[in-house]
A and B are shown apart, each in its own frame.
Chain A
């Protein structure tokens, strides 16, 4: 077992990236992830690696594009408004099949919004976000240890699939301090070598071309169908989730990240009051655990989505259950965090409800 330390979420991501061999970090300040950029500015330079505070998020992600193309592990981080700008590069990297790991410590939007914690970039994280038919592997950790662990995994899956991968955290997770076990990075060994395709390498004298342009007739469709095969494989092999007290559950909450922590406490309180409630926590929000959520509908009639956005994940849960269960929503927005007592109240209301009624609380 590794050393136990007390660490802030943003710093834990940074340290995990350093341990995972991130060679190039490019970032631009935005709250609530500034500690991460600051952490990297010190640690990367200490390690003799590349750190640049770029002129913009657009520049940062395009620097990642370049560094990934020469075969380096590369990373950037931001929050909502900055991730919107990075979407350009993310789409290009997905198109050109380049790995990158990035972090969105979500804040309230739309627009400049506020700097309070939120989960309202769910659509942006899970739907590609930028233009074109592409996907990004997205982890939604719910504590500092997981921020650390999934950062390491994030670099690996990005390399394995030659695709951007990300962590969707929120301001609370980024700022909170928790005990953390510093696990050593273990290279899984089955990562493909970058040598055949990385640019500027004299050991591969034949010219290599990295691009997302496919103008010839049918060429882009051909390419996108190849990409789709990769996304299908990711959906098959990379789904992650956690289940709590589902065995005897009569109602199941579905929540991720900070909202799942609140839901877990609400579960304990509600159980004491005799409500047989379980919790399903997606850890990957893309690929989404559709099948597992679909299976929940065979066990219970009611699901309650708890999220810090106004029904963004609710859509995925409804898609998953295909009408086989009622899906209720407890959503907060713009910095609002679900309150345990209110979630318990909501559970009670649902248990007492009859018929087809869907209860949405904002």
Chain B
């Protein structure tokens, strides 16, 4: 019988520890499928962030390093410059990338570093128990904005793609989501482009993945997907923000 669905070779036979309905597992899998598709397994290096995906090394079947909170772009820079033959995948959450690591992100982008960033935006800090992220929506509740995010006090939710798109070092920039099969397929297409951009050495690339965190949003998985569509996608518009090929 023909096998039509199987685990990618770049994925270990482990069960992930993510909560039911979490988007990280899907994002991991998409990365692993692409590592296989491009034949990168032996020279790929993933960076596990500080956040719920800190144990990405348990799931990915290629080299993984764990960076300090927010520093993945600097670590990726050192690895890629130190070994230009490696293929570096910087995997970060919104707390990691858009709060503590903003400077590292902007400057790696501006230098046009040749690595791929997969940015999982779940609009909250997952691992530490649901505190406000830079991406938390106005009015959204979290542990540290229990009355809802008030932009006058807490600032506005940051749109990362829009923020970095004018930097000349940025080669490919897109936002996808993992709320539906259609969006998962589209997100993987974005990722594929980002991988190709990095392989071709064209510059810095990032794919944002709008993703649910049912646990810290306090919702059942299905409800979380609905909330994501109705709220997050309003503020975080899907699409391609920069594509140096098309320009």
Residue ranges of A at the interface with B (Cβ–Cβ < 8 Å):
23-24, 26, 50, 52, 54-56, 58-60, 62-72, 74, 88-89, 92, 96, 199-202, 205, 207-213
Contacts and interface: CB of A to CB of B under 8 A. Distances in A.
B156 to A, nearest CB: 24
B60 A207 contact: yes
Contacts of A64: 78
A60 B44 CA distance: 23
B75 A66 contact: yes
Contact of A26 (B63, B76, B78, B80): B78
B61 interface: yes
Given A55-B107, A58-B74, A202 B43 contact: yes
Nearest to A61: B74
A205 B39 CA distance: 12
B75 A207 contact: no
A222 B135 CA distance: 38
15 contacts: A23-B82, A26-B78, A59-B103, A65-B65, A65-B78, A67-B81, A69-B82, A70-B79, A92-B67, A200-B87, A202-B42, A207-B63, A209-B63, A210-B63, A213-B66
Contacts of B45: 69-70, 199-200
5 smallest beta-carbon distances between A and B, as pairs: A66-B78, A200-B86, A67-B82, A62-B74, A63-B78
A99 B217 CA distance: 41
Nearest to B58: A209
Contacts of B42: 202, 205
Interface size, B (range): 35 or more
A59 B79 contact: no
Nearest to B79: A66
Contact of B81 (A52, A92, A199, A210): A52
Contacts of A58: 71, 74, 103-104
Contacts of B48: 211
Contacts of A56: 103
Contact of A200 (B12, B77, B79): B79
A59 B71 contact: yes
Interface in B72-96: 74-83, 85-88
B62 interface: yes
Given A67-B78, A200-B83, 14 more contacts: A50-B82, A62-B104, A69-B82, A70-B83, A71-B83, A74-B78, A89-B71, A199-B63, A199-B86, A201-B83, A202-B43, A208-B64, A209-B63, A211-B57
Given A70-B86, A200-B86, A65 B43 contact: no
Contacts of B220: none
A63 B71 CA distance: 9
